Amino acid sequence: MSIKTATLSTLLLLSIFACRETATSDPTTASAVKGDYLQAVIEIPAGTNHKIEYDYESEQFLNDQIDGKDRVINFLPYPGNYGFIPSTLMDKERGGDGDALDILVIGESVPTGTIMQVIPIGALMLRDRQEIDTKIIAIPADPLKQIIKADDFMTFALRYDAARRIIEDWFQNYKGAEGVEILRWEDEQYALQEVEKWKK
């Protein structure tokens, strides 16, 4: 293969995967599903302690406030890129928490505002303040951005059980004394059903 052909092949691959991850100032226009993948809007990059949330009124990503100060998680940093699945809403009337469906994407840190295509590998079911809270667990769709090789819950649980337990422990303890109750883990099919259930 010539250098020119190799360069063109590389550019083609990069352009394909570049389409799978974008930054935007208006994640409300994104859909929950794009092609064969879910989409995730990243609010909090992996390794961050600041509680950043998308504000629908100002259309900006803002640090959550407590008593006029930025809310900072008093625990270990987020173990993945945390955000929400766009075009979803967990209606309180149907037992949800009133927010979009949460997602944790296992991978290297990406900037706040990134919209990325992801593969769900499971769902962690929690009880937080007497409300059922579902966390979709996913990996990037782009193979170049995957740091674990598991695209289903069985592989994740068997090959990366320590990572699964770290995620569980993190969610159980990040609010300190307030506490979050771990209910159970579910597989990738359940995760997809949750997305369908809460799609707007």
**Per-residue pLDDT for 131 more than 90?**
no
pLDDT band at 4 (very low <50, low <70, confident <90, very high): very low
Residue at 179 is within a domain: yes
Give the pLDDT score at 15: 40
Q: Is the separation of the CB atoms in 73 and 174 below 8 Å? A: yes
CA distance 115 to 23: 6
Beta-strand pair 52-55/60-63: antiparallel
CATH code, 162: 3.90.80.10
Q: What is the pLDDT of residues 67-81, one digit of tens each?
A: 999 999 999 999 999
Residue at 10 is within a domain: no
Q: What are phi and psi of 29, to 5 degrees?
A: -85, -10
List the one residue out of 22, 26, 157, 137 whose CA is nearest residue 81.
137
**Per-residue pLDDT for 25 more than 70?**
no
Query: Does the predicted model carry a pTM greater than 0.85?
Result: yes
Residue at 159 is within a domain: yes
Q: How many CA atoms lie within 13 A of 58 on its CB side?
A: 7
Residue at 147 is within a domain: yes
Give the pLDDT score at 106: 98
Residue at 185 is within a domain: yes
- CA angle 110/139/106 to nearest 5° reads 55
Residue at 8 is within a domain: no
**Per-residue pLDDT for 37 more than 60?**
yes
For the chain, the domain total comes to 1
Residue 93's domain spans which residues? 23-198
Q: What is the pLDDT of residues 160-191, one digit of tens each?
A: 999 999 999 999 999 987 778 999 999 999 99
To the nearest 10°, the Cα dihedral for 12, 14, 17, 18?
A: -110
Residue at 4 is within a domain: no
**Per-residue pLDDT for 112 more than 60?**
yes
pLDDT band at 115 (very low <50, low <70, confident <90, very high): very high
